[in-house]
Chains A and B, each alone.
Chain A
Amino acid sequence: MFFFVARRSFFAVILLFVVSIFTFWIFSALPADPAALTCGKNCRPEVIEANRARLGYDKPFIEQYGSYMKGIFAGRTYGEDESGVHCSAPSLGYSYDRHECVTSLVAKTLPVTASIAIGAFVLWMFFGIALGTMAALRRGKWPDHFATVFSVVGISFPSFFLGLLSILIFVIWTNILPFPQYVGITENPFKWFTALILPWTVLAVLSASTYIRMTRNGILEVMNEEFVRLGIAKGLPRRTLIVKYVLRAALTPIATIAGIDLAFLLGGALVTESVFNLPGLGKLTLAAVINSDLPILVATTLVAAVFIVVANAVVDIMYGFLDPRVRSK
């Protein structure tokens, strides 16, 4: 088992390395000139060239990549005179658009995204599995119909529509909730909760739909397995059969997807964060896309890649624990 975990971890690190080179190369090959974008309306070519040198964009790709990686481990200074800016390790670059070290921006926005992602994840897993189980066990009855309608609605409506609708109903028309304005959980837990309840709900409605269908189908499939029929024949109580055997078997593939979904969401919920004006990683990325703010784009892409790669590795390792056949392959 130790070697299995070590092997998976090693490959995760290699994958991250490859992703970092590829990401850095893609963004450096884009037509947008990051040096020109640091300049104002009244800029001159000389200023653009000076800023290019300050940012290191005048160097060959390999040297740029080397400086970037070195900055992650040792920090980096942008500019050589007294007006230069130093970003401590791990430095993911400097954004002239935001006037701030990118690591600091990621550190500020990540807790927002994590708050959204984890809360929404808990909600959609709970309701997705609960409604999916109910639909499967009451197949053809009203709980099944309700779950089907719910999942169709959830899948059909885009997040920005549900987001705007929920703001109109709960914030503007009925004043049940204040307009979402994020504050840290340690700063004011109640305000944190009220700011996030709508985004959580919208994301949960969207994602729960998938989990309802997967849970329902999974349970119905497992119910036809021989070991279930054997359990019934041996007189196992229905509750024990469902909880201990059917759900366990049906939810194993769901756990895999849930891990990846959570990791994906931790990389930034672009639309939801924008609609609810939550300053998370997704909103930061969206603004960077619009501004062609390459240092932020490279960093947020790498952070999202780290989440995905780590989630994949964790899921692989968990599978190894759950299923010995995976370890032996």
Chain B
Amino acid sequence: MKRNRIIAAIATAAILISACGGSGNGTTSGEESGGRSATADGIKDGGTLYVLTFQEGASNLDPQRVYTGAELGAYGSTYARTLTSYVPAAGKDGAGVEPDMATDLGTHSDDLKTWSFTLRDGVTWEDGTDVTCGDIAYGISRTFAAEVTAGEGPMYATTYLDIPEGDSDFGSAYPGPWLATADQQALFDKAVACDGKTITFSLKVPVADFAYTVSLLAFGPVPKAQDTADQYALKPFSNGPFKIESYEPGKEMVMVRNENWNPESDPVRKPHVDKIIWQYGLDEAVIDERMLADSGDDKNAIVYGGIQAENLQTVFGDDSLKDRRTDGFDGFVSYTMFNNETVNCIEVRQAIWLGLDREALRTAAGGPFTGEFAKSFVAPLLATDYAPAKLVDGLNEDGTPNLEAAKAALEKAKTSCPDVYAKATGDGLRFDHPDSDAWKKNIAIWIDSMKAVGVTIIDNPIEPSKYYATINGDRGDIMRSGWAADWANASTVIPELFGKGGGFNYTNNESDPNFAAFDEKVQSAKAETDRAKQATLWKELNQTIIDNVWAIPGSATKSQNLVGSNVRLGYQWLPFGWYNLGAIGLAG
């Protein structure tokens, strides 16, 4: 699961219990849960909630194309119900899934390859018609339609469902509902079968936690009659307590209450406000000033994008704000990817890691508030699969650069890989990153750090909401990224980020001679049913990635937010690293 700045996902109670253990090393700020703003104190039904954000629009509103943690939670809690949903609660209580449109968490065959769910009565669309099993099957089938959904959302449907491989754009024999012949459609209908209100999934691999998989919006329903293909992203049909009244990227989105939502059919959502207005494209500095001033409608506002680093001390140094602020781990690990095809020289990659001023980056981001230096690509909150790896020799623990070691590594590269050395020290390496205010500062630190080592960095900022789509087509030499598990297993981290065909592997590590053995082990780990053995394999694989420096782990991050003084139930919903938008109410 990707995120832009503050977005993350954590999936189970097991992780969260360990999260409560927190940092404890004194290097980070104390965790804060929002005080009064996270409670229901004085809450009244009605009113308008505002969401202020620097983003130009939603990364996508189409359920099959949403894959940003905060937005998955925000849209799932408002207009897009699924078979199961995360429990709407603060802390560890919010980490498990519960039945949503389904009557239970599903029944499965002994081999975990067949899963069935039954739809509740009374689940309706915004026009009052029933949500059917066929709507769910149709929604899932859209993931296969490369010409529309274009690989923007999670691809678990294509990797899990028992459909043969074939010639479609995603390598499946089923090309999605628009292009499928009758025979091809039959393949999908066999894998996702409807019998009245019961939907049965046939999987090609055993999946023990499929109840979590179907909580993704990509496994949600879409009514075929309302599907406008690419333009469904402008006005998706609602089956939740809110519906989209208007959406204008660059300006605003207005969500209003869906009068055809039946609360009795929904054990998960308890909405309070009448309207939610997203204000897009705001200047980040202006957002912070407005939130600090807390006047007018801004008393009813929350922020999507966090607090700017320069304002963190102000916000957390002022006790009068303790009932409006949150601070905590978000289960996310930031990292820097190498394009191992163009930077195919481990000495250069090591030199960059050793010479990088990680402490300066953390300071620029807001200091210890931002989190701890990561020692793994798996977040510490995934306690079962996490172990701090042995990092590159000579790396300073305090995050300061080791110029001597960096220059020594670069000197070795001069003879071991002269082409890459010449590029790194001559024309330079292109660094792709989101064009946010935070990264304007970070890239300056990168450029300065690398200059001291002797490496040239070419800055390439990309609009945040299109960052991943851009690097997917035109990849630089170095790229910023970050990841949180889709659920509590490193199977949603290591194969996805570094394995062959991993949905989000931008490292081009397949060109590395060590990749074949690595990927063979990844496949073994995925097939391992003994959880303890599987965890050991993930830890070893993580160490392999670090030994090969295919990427540099950055921070196990924390996020901070500030809400308006009227906001209530503004708790951090840990599975998504942001608020439970649909549950927020207002006081006063």
Contacts and interface: CB of A to CB of B under 8 A. Distances in A.
Contacts of B146: 44, 46-47, 50
B472 A41 contact: yes
Given A40-B468, A41-B2, A43-B469, A79 B152 contact: no
B81 to A, nearest CB: 23
B473 A50 contact: no
Interface string B12-33: 0000000000000000000000
B2 A287 contact: no
How many A residues touch the partner, as a band? 35 or more
Contacts, number: 157
Nearest to B227: A83
Given A175-B295, A279-B250, A290-B463, 11 more contacts: A32-B474, A39-B151, A42-B155, A44-B146, A44-B169, A44-B171, A98-B249, A99-B233, A172-B293, A290-B435, A291-B466
Given A54-B147, A277-B283, A283-B250, A43 B473 contact: yes
A53 to B, nearest CB: 10
Interface string A274-304: 1101010001100100111000000000000
A82 B176 CA distance: 12
Given A42-B155, A168-B289, A79 B504 contact: no
B186 interface: no
Contacts of B154: 42
Interface string B449-467: 0000000000001110110
Contacts of B170: 44, 46-47
A123 interface: no
B474 A51 contact: no
A43 B150 contact: yes
Interface string B281-317: 1110110011001011000000000000000000000
A23 interface: no
Interface string B54-87: 0011000000010100000000000000000000
A277 B282 contact: yes
Instruction: Sort chain B's interface into a size bin.
Output: 35 or more
A108 B251 CA distance: 11
Contacts of A2: none
B148 interface: yes
A83 B250 contact: no
Interface in A26-40: 31-33, 35-40
B469 A40 contact: yes
Interface in A226-262: none
B193 to A, nearest CB: 24
Contact of A40 (B149, B250, B283): B149
B290 A179 contact: yes
Interface string B118-132: 000000000000000
Given A42-B151, A279-B281, A81 B504 contact: no
B289 A287 contact: no
Contact of A47 (B169, B250, B504): B169
Interface string B133-146: 00000000000011
7 contacts: A39-B473, A44-B171, A46-B170, A50-B169, A81-B147, A168-B289, A277-B280
Nearest to A179: B290
B336 interface: no
Interface in B250-284: 250-252, 279-283
